[in-house]
Chains A and B, each alone.
Chain A
Amino acid sequence: MNTFDFLMQGIAVATMPMNLLYALIGVTLGTAVGVLPGIGPALTVALLLPVTYRLDPAGSLIMFAGIYYGGMYGGSTTSILLNTPGESASIVTALEGNKMARAGRGGPALATAAIGSFVAGLLATLALAFVAPWVVSFALAFGPREYFALMVLAFVTVSATFGDSTLRGLTSLFLGLALGIFGIDQQTGQARMTFGVPDLLDGIEVTTLAVAMFAIGETLYVAAQGSRVAEKVEAVRGSIWMTATDWARSWKAWLRGTLIGFPIGAMPAGGADVASFLSYAAEKRASKHKHEFGKGAIEGVAGPEAANNASAAGTLVPLLTLGLPTTATAAIMLAGFQQYGLQPGPLLFTSNPQLVWGLIASLLIANFMLLILNLPLIGLWVRLLTIPKPWLYGGILLFATLGTIGANPSLVELGMLLVFGLLGYGLRVFGFPIAPVVVGLILGPMAEQHLRRALAISQGDPIVLLTSPISATLLGLAAVALILPMVLRAMGRGKALSQLASDSD
């Protein structure tokens, strides 16, 4: 069967009435939670994970796909109307979008973001469907050392390449790696770092860490700022429809954004934030209305929003084909897979094709649902933005603890939630990025297994990592991605890199 047949089969799975309902619930919940200020897609996915606990794997992943795309859409609404982006990938959207909203053009800004996200989501999901089998055929030849090298590359790009400090990125990464040691060693069955506490034998849950760091850490951080930051929700005045000029200025930006976003997401080269910054720069250069940039240029919303969504679909390429998460959101999705004992990777495509293709097809369907759901319901989403801060964060903590209490209400687990929440707060105060901790926790033990398998084959000789051309190339790339930014920063040219900082997703 070729990709097209598989995709058709997937669509058959995804359009079963129950699965359509799951997708609808997913996109609605995802948008509703994603709209709330301060909540990005990573937290949306982590908070809503308990909702899917009792479903079968296919239904759960389909709902998950809806939550993921819905969370992305919701984030753009927040940044346009509130100017406090819930996720770093939406910062650029806030730049132009909030200016448009202030000028009474909030409607067209929301519309170009929604339609741009739809176009990008559609094209990028199709690209995912066609690229994934190709990567899988390539990845089937990968052995432990290639996987290890790939993970090292992902570690470096997630932690050290972007952001304003190699030191703090690496520190976050190694904190995550250290947390990954906790629990029973998968090869010898020996307990590591458990200090006699039975609850620690299973290791530290990725969802516990992610919810603690993103929800509790963020709440503590916002609370500690006091009432210094005043927020104003911009009302959507006038027509929400785009004019002919808006369309003419938007469509090229959507396509350019998709072209920039998808490859960046698909390669382990940083998350959606990088893509949206690059797209913004590209639009500024290509626009005939340069003077409007900074004052509410519609291309500056259309391009980055498209790039943002295209890169979100792109991150699913390494996640599904290699089991390699390159963003915090992807790391939590991987945890979602693992709760059903599913390990994404090339084998999942052969052992469970209905599931994988059902998931890809439901992404397409979620995308259509969001377009239909979002434009008419925009008034409802706007009302969610006006929830007063004390109630909002009280509710966030309610749902943050709900997941842990539902999964495992032990004292140790809830204590970890609190401790990691405080850690997340401390990391924010001192400017450490959060995503590398989450990615390090989930990817660290996997990288260790691959390294040990590779070294067991070579009887402990580390040179084996460099004798495979693929793994040598990947490790070389990782070294460049680590050293080059340090050199650039030392030369005082790191400004562009710190602008691309991944601070939340």
Chain B
Amino acid sequence: MTEGNHPTTGKRRPDRAALIIAAGLLLLAVVIAVDMQRLSNVASYARIGPQTVPLIIAMCLAGLAIWTAIEAWRGEFPEREPQEARPVLWIVGGLLAQIALLRFTGFSIATGVLFGFVAYGLGRKVLWIGIPVGIILALAVWILFAMGLSLTLPAGPLESAIQSLLRGQPA
């Protein structure tokens, strides 16, 4: 990933962030080329095997890396808007929290935490209001999708409680 902190470069001088993009492209090209060396060439009769097209793509990526580097060196990349890191970190944190919690707490609590973090990152004043709102919303979505459309979504304590509540009632 090449984003992060990149100060605005108004002047026409080497653009460091764009140079990092060029390096990233080159790295991707090298990784592809190295990985293709593992493959055995079974289709030698056609002179084109599973590694041919990836190698062409890797060459093109390397070419684009050089081109990007030249533009970066000349400072020809467009100017960028200043980016705020704090909200980005809250959203990424929310996604990580959801991934970590999903297996243990079920869909609704994990997704509620994500919802709360995202809302806080986007300007809600209080973090603790977003999470319960998110949990209720996620639970409603879970009922609709897991029970209504039989999509498999990980269940936790809340989901099992709802399930037994709905099933336990006399029909």
Q: Which residues of A contact B (CB under 8 A)?
A: 50-51, 53-54, 164, 167, 170-171, 174-175, 177-178, 181, 185, 187-188, 190, 192-193, 195, 216, 219-220, 222-227, 389-391, 393-395, 397-399, 401-402, 405-406, 409, 411, 414-415, 417-419, 421-423, 425-426, 429-431, 444, 448, 451-452, 455-456, 459-460
- Interface mask (B139-154 → A, CB under 8 Å = 1, otherwise 0): 0010001000111111
Q: Which residues of the partner chain A approach B53 to less than 8 Å between Cβ atoms?
A: 181, 448, 451-452
Tell me if A219 and B118 are in contact (CB < 8 A): yes
Picked from B28, B52, B120, the residue with its CB within 8 Å of the CB of A390 is B120
Kindly state the separation between the CA atoms of A192 and B51 in the bound complex, as whole angstroms.
Answer: 8
Kindly state the separation between the CA atoms of A406 and B107 in the bound complex, as whole angstroms.
Answer: 10
Tell me if B25 and A401 are in contact (CB < 8 A): no
B149, closest chain A residue (CB): A54
Besides A397-B91, A401-B98, 7 more A-B contacts (Cβ < 8 Å) are A170-B60, A225-B83, A225-B84, A226-B84, A406-B151, A423-B1, A429-B6
Q: A192-B35, A393-B118, A406-B145 are in contact. Are A455 and B48 (CB under 8 A)?
A: yes
Picked from A223, A397, A402, A418, the residue with its CB within 8 Å of the CB of B145 is A402
Dominant SS at the A interface?
helix
Picked from B43, B46, B87, B95, the residue with its CB within 8 Å of the CB of A401 is B95
Tell me if B80 and A430 are in contact (CB < 8 A): yes
> Considering residues A50, A423, A429, which has the most beta carbons from chain B within 10 angstroms of its beta carbon?
A429
CB distance from B125 to the nearest CB of A (A): 10
Q: Which residues of the partner chain B approach A222 to less than 8 Å between Cβ atoms?
A: 122
Tell me if A53 and B151 are in contact (CB < 8 A): yes
Tell me if A398 and B39 are in contact (CB < 8 A): no
Q: Which residues of the partner chain A approach B43 to less than 8 Å between Cβ atoms?
A: 187-188, 452, 456
CB distance from B78 to the nearest CB of A (A): 5
B29, closest chain A residue (CB): A178
Dominant SS at the B interface?
helix
Closest 7 CB pairs of A and B: A460-B47, A223-B87, A390-B119, A426-B3, A185-B50, A394-B115, A390-B122
Kindly state the separation between the CA atoms of A160 and B67 in the bound complex, as whole angstroms.
Answer: 14
Q: A405-B107, A455-B48 are in contact. Are A193 and B35 (CB under 8 A)?
A: yes
Tell me if A394 and B130 are in contact (CB < 8 A): yes
Kindly state the separation between the CA atoms of A430 and B2 in the bound complex, as whole angstroms.
Answer: 10
Q: A390-B118, A423-B1, A429-B3 are in contact. Are A398 and B138 (CB under 8 A)?
A: yes
Interface residues of B in 81-95 (CB under 8 A from A): 81, 83-85, 87-88, 90-92, 94-95
Kindly state the separation between the CA atoms of A351 and B91 in the bound complex, as whole angstroms.
Answer: 46
Q: Which residues of the partner chain B approach A185 to less than 8 Å between Cβ atoms?
A: 50
